[in-house]
Amino acid sequence: MIQDASPMSPQTTALALHALGQGPLANRWRTEAMRSHATPRLIFFARGQGRITVAGLTSGYGANNLIFIPAGTMYGFEMGPSVFGQIMAVPGAMAAEWPDRPVHLRLKDVASQKELLALLEGLERELHSDRPQHRRAAHYHAGLLSVYLARQVALKAADPARDRADTSAARLVAAYTGLVERHFRADRGVAAYAAELGVTPTHLTRCCRQTCGQSALALLANRRHYEACVMLRDTTTPVQDIASATGFQSAAYFSRAFQARAGQSPSAFRRSGASPRHG
């Protein structure tokens, strides 16, 4: 398979396709915590339902939902036991062929559903193939998926969440999540982010709760927690260095915050072993 890192890792820049819904519940942080990637992601939920938060805006998803996440956009989603789907890492070299803002499509037309499944099956087949030129063929399949998405958007199949994203509250929260993504490693609190956005911390939190049901502090803590989990599972970086790399003033403070959220210490989390690379 064409890949160079975990499918949910910000370092993934190669074309990859992975199944969703096959991992143990203990690894929910791989999907539910806020994160972003250096390259775009395309998510297809074939069955099941839940909620997904993209750039601070929460929406429901169900079967035959196709969601595009631009590079650098914070997101996370629920993964119940009935959910199954696939997530594709878009190569950095192909990113310009995809939208520059999130897209959520609810595919109700059977013909459109079948067309998407055929494209995904073709991509998966080439990614697992050992035939000559299979990588080149896989990239052409990815290109066809970008055309498919553009056509569906042109047909106005987009979810009403796109209209919700144009409200003042949603725009503010999207700007906030963008800042968080750029600066979460620094020791900056919500007040500093609010000041940069020209609003009060109270107003920022009110808007965050309105768009995604979380406070501004919770979104920031969520993003830091995911990064800490990735570093603990995927690297040998010392805990004290992970603390400073995720915006904590001390290793002790980091350990207390991690324990409160994960139910175990950072060291115990690391010893529990790396999770499956299922996305």
User: What's 74's domain CATH number?
Assistant: 2.60.120.280
pLDDT band at 153 (very low <50, low <70, confident <90, very high): very high
Q: What is the pLDDT of residue 155?
A: 87
| Residue 249, domain member (yes or no) | no
Within a domain: 108: yes
90 in any annotated domain:
yes
**pTM, 2 dp:** 0.83
Contact 37, 192 (CB under 8 A): no
Residues above pLDDT 90, as percent of the chain: 78
In a domain, 252, yes or no: no
Query: Hey, which residues does 50 pair with through a beta bridge?
Result: 61
Residue 95 covered by a domain: yes
Flag whether 214 is in a domain: no
pLDDT tens for residues 72-98?
999 999 888 899 999 999 999 999 999
Answer whether residue 134 shows pLDDT above 50: yes
The 10s digit of each residue's pLDDT in 31-65 is 778 999 999 999 999 999 999 999 999 999 999 99
User: What is the maximal distance between C-alpha atoms in the chain?
Assistant: 58
Tell me the residue range of the domain where 129 lies: 16-159
Q: Is the pLDDT of residue 158 over 60?
A: no
- Which residues are CB-contacts of 253 (< 8 A; sequence separation ≥ 6)? 243
**Assigned domain for 188 exists:** no
Whether 180 is in a domain gets the answer no
Q: How many domains does the chain have?
A: 1
Q: Which of 45, 165, 47 is nearest to 99 (CA)?
A: 165
C-alpha dihedral, 138 to 7 to 82 to 149, nearest 10°: -50
Give the whole-angstrom CA distance, residue 208 versus residue 203. Answer: 9
pLDDT at residue number 60: 94
Q: Please, what is the average pLDDT of the chain? A: 89
- How would you list the strands of the sheet with 57-61, edge to edge? 57-61, 50-54, 75-77
Residue 7 is given by DSSP the state T
